[in-house]
Chain A
């Protein structure tokens, strides 16, 4: 009986649980004490003032163009390699090439596990591991991008391939097609648009990740932002951020054009143009990295380098350390308390983004702005639509790490600034995704509500929310997984949690502490993946 009750009301229960968990996470912050630095607010105004007066001197613009190219070329090289990894591992993990049976599913599980491991660790942590073990080389940044991105893309590819309907494949099979023919004429045409659109989205993420590789010594926009922040030149900071936004917007536009042209006609000039552009970018990026940045794969695997890598991993495993952190009760206690903080930080972050998203999602939907959904046309609807959409772009184009670097000037160190930085970045993404859900709504029931005189809040509660809820929840949970991976990064700049301790241990060369912290971090990421998958299945 009780179980039955749960299953009929499980959406409601889950919502209450999630809200409860969010409220619990808020208890982690001492709201009585002042949260701002004594001068935090005035710093905030300085930063906002600079937003409207970016430094547009010729010198800075030239520097920005140069840095944009560096950021772009590493993103292209990294994501390009990630696609290769994702293709190979994704096909293997989808199981379409294996015979059904225990051996086939064993292989499938193994390759899924590999993909899961690759994507559990954030690209900046990979980068740091590569730099510490193989030294600072352009490949450290490229591989650091390629591995987690390959893991994420690979899983999506695998899911898409596994979801391909049986019938067309069976039809092809009956004509005697080989496995490769099955793949190229059966599977690939069905999944190609989905793959393309997701790949383009990852490319956009790659730009941001490439920018923050400045933390391990890669030049580019992130490096310039960091330098300008060090000198507190906020006007320069915004100039570089605008360039970052510009590439993100351009890629977004390219992706949407490409998707619509590809599905509607196959003979549009935009398609060969895009292929050429892709090839041009790939050639340009690799040439730049090889010729100007003098990357060398041979040097990467020199005996000297292997010696250092061996030494590094021995240190990580605590060999030669009298009391490695993972055999030390005190270290465990500290690490577990940080893990707990980090968990609360991530929940707070997704909670803040969700609240902000709910406040803005209606005016941000096109069908609300043009009055088609609510049957009321107001000129200011377009103004609020534009303002919120620009806000979304600003929010998501700026990487969490850059948000965090600015936020710690305003809030006192701890997990609150970390949560806010993560929320600021994710709210834009969540808002965009959810606004699109609202745009795809069946308008009839809502028009009905509107015509019977319901206000905006009532429309949201009784019209929009019930029909979009499962989709919203999926996106919220999915973003929470991403936030969990990123918590460690905002800690690097002092925004609390595991990341902050990680950075300190790195600076003090306490290798076995790092191993312990990494272990807690991966556990947290996996737990988040698991819980989020369970919750998504529950609402389905």
Chain B
């Protein structure tokens, strides 16, 4: 038995070592190719998002000649961390996550957004039979935000709740829940788990258009004022992939149109337009006020 034990241990070690050295060679090959990784915050149905992002990676590869790959992320913060570490070069962020990314990476730049992101809204939904008609009515109800890192699912809804004199930690039935994604928020309200919730207007409109949500069970009762939201934020790519890379990627994104309709559908848009970091100063201010960014 002893011999067998030693044998299996040494086998394990030899295996680990040989695999190491083999892997070493592989790595250098991959490095010379320099993969341009793109990512997206997992704010809606993961399967659909992954499919569309793979297509966008293909499109960007054909337009720019870069080796573009999509890397899925588990949560918002994971994508921000990957961006900070330079493992992701281009990311589809929400307002708050892009502000977090810009503060972590000097030179990171918001380059493109949807026309609707200039005037984005959150919607507050509730079970229809509650017949709510103003924001104050959610006092005493069970409530869910989306992800805690979401701008339209948490940051701005929380901001407008406070503006209207509602303290989410005190005035609801129990503490607020964080569902993790916009899709899950309306589904949880629809299925009756929570009485009310707040989510991204675009995801809501998409769900209504595609008949994914039963309007007899859940409906909008309040829409927030407008703010800047989602954008494509690019890392300091020119240092790694050569000068002009940023411009190339930006041009490719801005020239998406009718031919790329299938991949634009998941974003609920028909094109992307230019944006700048300054557009997100207001979000940063709100996040600081709420103590989310220090």
What 0/1 readout, one digit per residue, does chain B (38-76) give for beta carbons within 8 Å of chain A? 000000011100000000000000000000000001111
Partner pick for A509 among B8, B80, B188, CB 8 A cutoff: B80
Are B8 and A275 in contact (CB-based, < 8 A)? yes
- B residues near A297, Cβ cutoff 8 Å: 20, 23
**Chain B interface extent, by class:** 35 or more
| Chain B residues within an 8 Å CB radius of A475 | none
Chain B neighbourhood of A527, CB < 8 A: none
A136 touches B181 (CB 8 A): no
Residue ID in chain A nearest B72 by CB atoms: A217
Q: Report if B183 contacts A (CB, 8 A).
A: yes
Contact of B23 among A131, A216, A295, A503 (CB under 8 A): A295
Stretch of A36-44, A154-162, A202-210, A391-399 contacting B (4+ beta carbons < 8 Å) = A36-44
- On chain B, the residues within 8 Å of A227 by CB distance are 46-47
Binds B, one of A20-28, A282-290, A381-389, A439-447: A282-290
Asked if A43 and B193 sit within 8 Å, CB to CB, the answer is: yes
B87 adjacent to A296 (CB under 8 Å): no
Chain B nearest Cβ from A320, distance in angstroms: 11
Residue contact B174 to A231, C-beta cutoff 8 Å: no
* Nearest CB in chain A to that of B175: its residue: A413
Instruction: Summarize A's interface: helix, strand, loop or mixed.
Output: helix
Contact call A412/B173, Cβ cutoff below 8 A: yes
Q: How far is the CB of B100 from chain A (nearest CB, A)?
A: 7
Rounded to whole angstroms, the CA-CA distance of A43 and B195 in the bound complex is: 13
Residues of chain A contacted by B77 (CB below 8 angstroms):
506-507, 509
Count CB-based A-B contacts (< 8 Å).
Answer: 136
Asked if B2 contacts A37 (CB within 8 A), the reply is: no
Query: What range describes how many residues of A lie at the interface?
Result: 35 or more
Q: Does the CB pair B45–A231 fall under 8 Å? A: yes
Flag if A37 contacts B8 (CB, 8 Å): no
Contact with B along A397-413 (1 / 0, CB 8 A): 00000000000111011
In Å, the complex CA distance between A298 and B142 comes to: 49
Residues of B contacting A494 with CB < 8 Å? 177-178
B270-294 vs A, CB cutoff 8 Å, 1 = contact: the mask equals 0000000000000000000000111
Closest to A508 in B: B292
Q: How far, in whole Å, are A37 and B15 apart by their CA atoms in the complex?
A: 52
Check if A279 sits within 8 Å of B11, measured CB to CB.
yes
Q: How far, in whole Å, are A494 and B144 apart by their CA atoms in the complex?
A: 11
Q: How far is the CB of A316 from chain B (nearest CB, A)?
A: 14
Task: Knowing A38-B142, A409-B193, A509-B77, say if A296 contacts B23 (CB, 8 Å).
Answer: yes
Which one of B19, B174, B177 lies within 8 Å of A290 (CB-CB)? B19
Question: Is B231 at the interface (CB under 8 A from chain A)?
Answer: no
Of residues 18 to 38 in B, which have CB atoms within 8 Å of A's CB atoms?
19-20, 22-24, 26-27
- B129 CB, min distance to chain A CBs, angstroms: 11
**Given A37-B194, A290-B19, does the pair A279, B8 have CB atoms closer than 8 Å?**
yes
For the complex formed, measure the closest distance between the CB of B22 and the CB atoms of chain A, giving whole angstroms. Answer: 7
Distance in angstroms between the alpha carbons of A295 and B27 in the assembled complex: 10
Query: Across the interface, do B183 and A230 meet the contact criterion of CB distance under 8 Å?
Result: yes
Residues of A within 8 A of B19 (CB): 286-287, 290
Q: B78 touching A282 by the CB < 8 A rule?
A: no
Instruction: Please provide the chain A residues from 256 to 285 with a CB less than 8 Å away from any CB of chain B in the complex.
Output: 266, 275, 278-279, 282-283
The smallest beta-carbon distance between B5 and chain A, in angstroms, is: 9
Check B139 for interface membership: any CB of A closer than 8 A.
no
B187 touches A (CB below 8 Å): yes
Partner of B27, one of A80, A296, A308, A410: A296
Interface flag for A533 (CB, 8 Å): no
Bound-complex Cα distance A297 to B104 (A): 26
Contact string against B for A residues 498-520, beta-carbon threshold 8 Å, 1 for contact and 0 otherwise: 00000110111110000000000
- Is B81 an interface residue when CB atoms closer than 8 A count as contact? yes
Check A136/B188 contact, CB under 8 A, given A286-B15, A298-B24: no
Which chain B residues in 144-200 approach chain A with CB under 8 Å? 147-149, 173-178, 180-181, 183-184, 187-188, 191-195
- For A286, A494, A508, the residue with the greatest tally of chain B CB atoms inside 10 Å of its CB is A508
B82 within 8 A of A: yes
Report A-chain residues with C-beta under 8 Å of the C-beta of B195: 37-39
Q: State the Cβ distance, A292 to closest chain B Cβ, in Å.
A: 12
Q: Are A40 and B193 in contact (CB under 8 A)?
A: yes
- Nearest CB of chain A from residue B87's CB, rounded to whole Å: 7
| Contacting residue for B4 out of A184, A275, A496, CB 8 A | A275
**Cβ of B8 and Cβ of A294 under 8 Å apart?**
no
Q: Which residue of B lies closest to A266 (CB)?
A: B1
Complex contact B100–A414 (CB within 8 A): no
Q: Does B259 interact with chain A (Cβ within 8 Å)?
A: no
**Residue B85 lies at the interface, judged by CB distance under 8 Å to chain A:** yes
Decide yes or no whether B243 CB sits under 8 A from chain A. Answer: no
Query: Once bound together, how far apart are the Cα atoms of A51 and B103, in whole Å?
Result: 46
Q: Is there contact, CB below 8 Å, between A308 and B191?
A: no
With A and B bound together, what is the CA distance between A298 and B19 in angstroms? 11
User: Does any Cβ of B come within 8 Å of A46's Cβ?
Assistant: yes
Does A107 reach chain B (CB closer than 8 Å)?
A: no
Q: Which residues of A contact B292 (CB under 8 A)?
A: 508
B9 located at the interface, meaning its Cβ lies under 8 Å from any Cβ of chain A in the complex = yes
A117 within 8 A of B: no
Is A215 at the interface (CB under 8 A from chain B)? yes
> Contact: A38 with B22, CB < 8 Å?
no
Q: Determine which of B82, B149, B188 lies in contact with A507 in the assembled complex, contact meaning CB atoms within 8 Å.
A: B149
Residues of B within 8 A of A304 (CB): 86
A535 located at the interface, meaning its Cβ lies under 8 Å from any Cβ of chain B in the complex: no
A80 to B78, CA, bound (A): 28
Additional A-B contact list (4), CB under 8 Å, known A287-B19, A290-B22: A42-B192, A230-B180, A231-B187, A413-B177
20 pairs across A/B with beta carbons < 8 Å?
A39-B191, A43-B191, A46-B191, A84-B12, A135-B87, A136-B82, A215-B74, A230-B183, A295-B23, A297-B20, A297-B23, A298-B20, A308-B85, A409-B193, A412-B175, A413-B175, A413-B176, A496-B175, A507-B75, A507-B76
Q: List the 10 closest A-B pairs by CB distance, nearest first.
A: A39-B192, A412-B174, A290-B19, A507-B77, A217-B74, A507-B149, A413-B175, A43-B193, A296-B23, A507-B148
Chain A interface residues (CB < 8 Å from chain B):
33, 37-40, 42-43, 46, 80, 84, 131-132, 135-136, 184, 188, 192, 214-217, 223, 227, 230-232, 266, 275, 278-279, 282-283, 286-287, 290, 294-299, 304, 308, 321-322, 408-410, 412-414, 494, 496, 503-504, 506-510
